[in-house]
Amino acid sequence: MGLPPLTDPGFGDLLGALVIASAAAVFGLASCYLFPYVHAVFRRLRHPMLMLPLGGLVLGLLGALGGHLTLFKGLEEVKELVASTGSWSSGELAKFAVVKLLALLVAASCGFRGGRIFPAVFIGAAFGLLAQALVPEVHPAVAVSSAVLGVLLATTRQAWISLFTGAVLAASPAMLALLCLASLPAWLIVTGRPQLELDHEGKALR
């Protein structure tokens, strides 16, 4: 991702990782709580040829609001987002995170096929850069990796995937120890909460 390496982590980096991962987990949980309601709205249409065009229209409007970075699955877009660290305002970064979160919900609810990993990584990266923009003392690698960890924990409940995805983004071995510690409070926040997955009755799994 081109993030500056974290070579000598200190207590401030650990504190930043703990806070950002936890806050990102809470932000990611918002999608889990909203999912049953958004899903129910589209299911009232009862037919795929109504749900898909409406979902596409909503996604198009979200794309127009969020800009080209919020389009598609987010793999290439997150690279562009991180590569231009420092050029986005906090308001723009907040918009990216919220729009992408809503787009993920709409796509999952109206019947579009696709996974949640790459969109969640983009959401986490935008959230981390937002945290770093608000508190410039936080190292960019700490901010982005911790936020990706938190959002992935909330949206996938896959601890190992979340941990190693966050670590790979930073490409800094020192981040792995920080992320291991930051995963503990984030996991406690998401465990037992609604998942981004529904049962046959449309209720969120826990």
- In this structure, what CATH number is given to the domain that contains residue 178? 1.10.3080.10
Number of structural domains in the chain: 1
Section 161-174 average pLDDT = 83
Angle separating helix axes 173-190 and 159-170, nearest 10 degrees: 140
**Full-prediction pTM beyond 0.85?**
yes
For residue 17, which of 6, 28, 1, 31 has the smallest C-alpha distance? 6
195 located within any domain: no
174-203: average pLDDT: 84
For residues 156-183, average pLDDT: 85
Given this model, what pLDDT does residue 151 score? Answer: 93
pLDDT average, residue stretch 139-160? 90
Would 203 be classed as within a structural domain?
no
Mean pLDDT of 23-32: 92
Which residues span the domain enclosing 134?
A: 11-190
Sign of torsion, CA 3 134 12 164?
A: negative
- Is a pLDDT exceeding 80 seen at residue 57? yes
**Domain assignment of residue 202, yes or no:** no
Residue 107's pLDDT band, with cuts at 50, 70 and 90, is confident
**Dist. CA 204–CA 34, nearest whole Å:** 10
| pLDDT greater at residue 108 or residue 114 | 108
Residue 197, pLDDT > 80, answer no
Residue at 98 is within a domain: yes
pLDDT band at 172 (very low <50, low <70, confident <90, very high): confident
Give a yes or no: residue 199 inside a domain. Answer: no
User: Angle at Cα 146 formed by Cα 140 and Cα 150, nearest 5°?
Assistant: 145
5 occurs within a structural domain: no
Q: By C-alpha distance, which of 170, 163, 169, 129 is closest to 149?
A: 163
For residues 2 and 84, give the distance between their C-alpha atoms in angstroms, rounded to a whole number: 10
* Chain centroid, CA 183 distance in Å: 15
